[in-house]
């Protein structure tokens, strides 16, 4: 779900960098020393999960796992996703440096929203963990697809049809991401349940 170089307008690029810089700043301020390793691990998980790309217009479709990253990292998800996307842009030319701010915001904001909505239910056990995982995966990918579409449409009106196609193409990814997030959370609960309460 990376936006390539040369696609976005300058105002969208500038706005993306401003929002991402704010998110990364807040994430770094709230990141505790004991959580640095966990943040790095989830950054690596996102990096690996989103390496296999299926090109789609000015973007691509791939596994994301940003809902999982958001649930377990909170505001630090901006830091983890920024580093992963920066490395992908430099090492594999996925996305680009000019679109890095927008790409990061499009991934991290829905992840942070999932954290805000679902973290208390996860910690208190008010909802089944499998349901929380599925909803986090589904909602985060949906939000990222919508933000990506908005970024394209705000850059140029002729991207309207591509934006619709991107949203539709990500429906299977929403479901797959939801299932994988649910499975991973269930596994974490069995082997390291304290991660879900941190």
Query: What's this model's pTM, rounded to 2 decimal places?
Result: 0.91
DSSP annotation of 93 reads -
Model confidence pLDDT, tens digit, residues 103-116: 999 999 999 999 99
The rounded Cα 126 to chain-centroid distance in angstroms is: 25
pLDDT for 60 beyond 80? no
Mean pLDDT of the chain: 91
With the CA atoms of 27, 29, 35 and 38 taken in that order, what torsion angle do they form, in degrees rounded to the nearest 10? 20
Q: In whole angstroms, how far apart are CA 62 and each of 4, 11, 146, 176, 179?
A: 15, 27, 15, 10, 15
Please report which confidence band the pLDDT of residue 49 belongs to, taking 50, 70 and 90 as the band edges: confident
Model confidence pLDDT, tens digit, residues 133-192: 999 999 999 999 999 999 999 998 888 888 888 888 888 889 999 999 999 999 999 999
pLDDT for 59 beyond 70? no
Q: Which helix (H) or strand (E) holds 74?
A: none
Domains defined for the chain, CATH in brackets: 10-196 (1.10.1760.20)
pLDDT for 198 beyond 80? no
Q: What is the pLDDT of residue 5?
A: 86
Decide: helix, strand or coil at residue 146: helix
SS3 percent helix, strand, coil of the chain, rounded to 5, is 80, 5, 20
Please report which confidence band the pLDDT of residue 57 belongs to, taking 50, 70 and 90 as the band edges: low
pLDDT for 52 beyond 80? no
Secondary structure (DSSP) of 13-72: HHHHHHHHHHHHHHHHHH--GGGHHHHHHHHHHHHHHT-S-EEETTEEE----HHHHHHH
Of 24-33, 58-67, 171-180, 188-197, which range is least confident? 58-67
């Amino acid at each position: 779900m990376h936006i390539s170089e040369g696609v976005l307008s300058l105002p969208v690029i500038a706005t993306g960098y401003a929002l991402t810089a704010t998110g990364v700043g807040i994430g770094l301020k709230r990141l505790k020393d004991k959580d640095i390793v966990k943040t790095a691990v989830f950054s690596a998980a996102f990096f690996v999960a989103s390496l296999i790309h299926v090109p789609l217009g000015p973007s691509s479709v791939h596994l994301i796992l940003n809902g999982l990253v958001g649930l377990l990292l909170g505001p630090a998800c901006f830091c983890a996703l920024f580093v992963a996307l920066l490395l992908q842009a430099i090492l594999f030319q996925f996305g680009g440096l000019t679109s890095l701010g927008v790409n990061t915001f499009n991934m991290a904001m829905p992840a942070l929203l999932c954290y805000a909505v679902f973290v208390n239910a996860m910690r208190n056990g008010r909802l089944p963990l499998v349901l929380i995982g599925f909803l986090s995966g589904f909602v985060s990918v949906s939000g990222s697809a919508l933000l990506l579409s908005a970024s394209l449409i705000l850059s140029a009106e002729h991207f309207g049809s591509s934006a619709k196609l991107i949203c539709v193409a990500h429906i299977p990814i929403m479901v797959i991401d939801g299932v994988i997030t649910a499975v991973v959370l269930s596994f974490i609960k069995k082997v390291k349940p304290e991660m879900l309460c941190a």
